[in-house]
Structure 1
Amino acid sequence: MQRTCWFLCSHKTNEFMTIIKTLRLLQLVSYTIVASQFIFYLIILSGALRNVSITNFLEQRRAVDGLMQQRWKVVYYSCLALSTVMVAVSARQPGSWVFITSVIAMLCLVVDVVLALKGNEPINRMVNLAALTPKPPKGDFSNWEDLRVQWLRLIEIRGVITVSGLGALLVGLVWG
């Protein structure tokens, strides 16, 4: 009887560990996809976007924002959902590396999403609305320049936060 219970409990534990490992892998892959955008911005694109004319910057933002609205939200919210599930599943062992690093990564992602919605999104809306006007204002681009600086600064802050979340997951993977 006791041997049967051990076998069944052991089998359920193995299944549970397989589920956790699969969730961790999916979380890590989705988080890597999210963080890769920021790594590219931090290393190359932010500097390049500071050096182009404001007209080119606005044109690039309009082109990219349309695609981001359609595709990127699915990636972000899938990553957030996987992170939430991983925190919930690993909460059985609140002192474990998996739980602690999953909480850190999820909090980083939540902060990133809040900064995106409160900071970058309003600027993106302004850029997209300006594209709808038949004749954009000529000459005075100082307001747009300020918005570009603000937008890029937010991207860099979000990048550091999100890459920190990815780093936490990698630490959890190595020491978890």
Structure 2
Amino acid sequence: MKFLVTVVLALLLLTLESVVVQRAGLVLSRIDVTVVLLSFLALRASLLEGACSAFAVGYLLDLMSGQPTGLFTFLGVFTFLAGRLVDSLLDVRGPVAFVLFTMGADVGHGLLSAFFSWLTVKDGSATAVLPGLPLQVALTGLAALALYPLLRRLEARQERTQMGGGLL
């Protein structure tokens, strides 16, 4: 059930992100809502469920971004696995820690995306996103702060239904 909810939420958030980025006139930057979802999955989902969800979220971002196929699919799973590793080293609780965790994941995701795009694109446009990375990280942090209560509520609802308390 978490997989389906994650995929639907990713599709909805990616659509909303594309509209907001276009209306705001952001050329070099974006709001990376997929990293917010991947960070939450790294903290809360099991390994198999999270990896499958991360693959699906990355694939949706691949479809909507126009970047080389497979780039964000790979980076989605990699970000999830790296987030699980960091979670085993740090204690991430509360919205502020989640925002900082997500911003760190977005820095890594953005740098790896620029690096792999630089390897595959010959016209040099891959490094053009680097000047917009600080704004992207800040906007992703704001999105993480806004989405954290929703993600926690969805998680609590799923736990209740798994325990048989769906009628409460």
Taking structure 2 as the reference length, the TM-score comes to 0.29
More helix by share: 1
Taking structure 1 as the reference length, the TM-score comes to 0.28
